[in-house]
Amino acid sequence: MSRKLRVGIVGAGPAGVYAADILTKSDLPEGFDGVVVDILDRDPTPFGLIRYGVAPDHPRIKEIIKALKRVMSNESIRFFGNVNFGVDVKLDELRPFYDAVVFATGARRDRGLDIPGLDLDGSYGAADFVYWYDGHPDVSREWDFQPHAESIAVLGVGNVGLDIARILAKTADELLVTEIPDNVYEGLKKNAAKDVHVFARRGPAQVKFTPMELRELSHSPTIDVVVHPEGFEFDEGSMEAIRAAKSQKLVVDVLQNYLAKEPSGAPHRIHIHFCQNPVEILGEDGKVVGLRTEVTELDGTGNVRGTGEFKDWPVQAVYRAIGYYSDPIPDLPFDEAKGVLPNDGGHVLDPAGENIPGVYATGWIKRGPVGLIGHTKSDAAETIRMLLEDAPALSAAEQAEPEALDRYLDGRGVEYTTWEGWEKLDAHEVALGENDAHQRERKKVVERDEMVAISRA
């Protein structure tokens, strides 16, 4: 007798949505006549880091949401937002509703950096700042811009580092046409930054920017991009990296154009420094007053070694954008060194290295916070292939009725949101934008209670 394959996915970011999409489009093993997917997320809204990790002045990247919306509109996929896994529902409580559970919880906090001075006033993690300017419901509505912080350091040469540098260098009024909420606009008006210094430990061929992100730095009339010649060098490992990837060559070309360009005299500057390894955040009276770096040199392989020469940079704030790190998941093993669920490419593994039956992982919680959207799709495909191979041997859901999870959450008093609720909130935010004096595409609602109330109205 045929039955539905029931799968729960924890995490409604791109990794979870792509996994659901691939699952609903796949050929099912014999014995299954369809699939039902429930996606749970602790945020009241879907889309994860696309909503709360992409800078507000990147509308093209947010076009991804349109594709994700099409997936989520599939009648075989349901969304349960405002459900905090590990608090509202635990793994043992969730498993009776599904044949399999897939974790796609991503990476939401900053990776650690072991240098002195991290606790100084004016030392910030990138994730906290990104969540603030993206209006995440769980962060403070205020940001502590240092009133005299005209020079700021950003550590890290990925796209998040560039986003932070660009947001800090732009004026608040330039961002008023985006979806930022009022509290972010008012906060950005207190930002005193004039010079934002981005530090790379290695050379120009090793940066992790994408060409589009790098070009966009110069799109603001209030910003000059200054690439400093010190450390702008290439060894054989660098040349191999450029030859191996067209995108890396494009990045280097953009950097060379910036290097050759004369500053226009714009009031704000983004400086990019190469071969500078941060070793200490300098403080005085508990506040950031500088950054100390060690000058590095390329070693022939594209890596660097220290030279023993140090430089002090007078900055009044430091933003660390050296990567994200995943939170451990309750009741599952966690690899602290890698920041992932132990896995073999899809199956979550127990401490003995054996598959935990019916439990899978995809996205950054599986492979770490690396790669772009394309990697997320191929990653999800790998996990779903394993799940479907296992499906005939998986224990069938004990509570397979369509509304079983709804009843359980109602019984627990969880004020969960649904896809229909998201459509209400989406329309509400769009209307706020249309009615704004600046005729914006949308204006975000930031308070969790307000989002839930609108969604559940």
Per-residue pLDDT of 79-103, as tens digits, reads: 999 999 999 999 999 999 999 999 9
pLDDT at 16: 97
Q: CA 456 to CA 388: how far, in whole Å?
A: 34
**Which one is predicted more confidently, 291 or 441?**
291
Of the candidates 197, 141, 162, the residue with the CA atom closest to the CA atom of residue 318: 197
Q: Are 205 and 157 in contact (CB under 8 A)?
A: no
Q: CA 377 to CA 153: how far, in whole Å?
A: 34
Question: What's the helix, strand, coil split of the chain in %, to 5?
Answer: 35, 25, 40
Least confident residue range of 23-32, 78-87, 278-287, 367-376: 367-376
Judged against a pLDDT cut of 80, whether residue 62 lies above it is answered with: no
pLDDT interval class at 370 (50, 70, 90): confident
Exposure class string for 50-74: b at 16+ Cβ within 10 A, else e: bbbbbbbbbeebbeebeebbebbee
Structure token digits, residue 179? 């979806």
pLDDT interval class at 59 (50, 70, 90): confident
- Give per-residue pLDDT as tens, 1-46: 789 999 999 999 999 999 999 999 999 999 999 999 999 999 999 9
How many alpha carbons fall within 13 Å on the CB side of residue 326? 28
CA distances from 297 to 231, 265, 301, 302, 303 (A): 7, 31, 11, 10, 8
Domains observed in the chain? 3-108+326-416 (3.40.50.720), 111-324 (3.50.50.60)
% of the chain exceeding 70 in pLDDT: 99
The answer for residues whose C-beta is within 8 angstroms of residue 337's C-beta and 6 or more apart is none
For residue 82, give the amino acid letter. Answer: N
Helix axes 159-169, 126-133, angle to 10 degrees: 60
pLDDT interval class at 388 (50, 70, 90): very high
Q: CA 40 to CA 98: how far, in whole Å?
A: 13
* Run of H or E including 270: strand 268-273
Helical ranges in 349-411 per DSSP H: 364-367, 373-390, 404-411
Q: Are 346 and 390 in contact (CB under 8 A)?
A: no
Helical ranges in 77-203 per DSSP H: 91-94, 126-133, 159-169, 182-188
- Give per-residue pLDDT as tens, 412-455: 999 999 999 999 999 999 999 999 888 888 999 999 999 999 99
DSSP class of 85:
B
Residue with tokens 């394309």: 374
Strand bridging mode 151-155 / 317-320: parallel
pTM: 0.94
Give the total residue count for the chain.
457
Average pLDDT of the segment spanning 212-241: 95
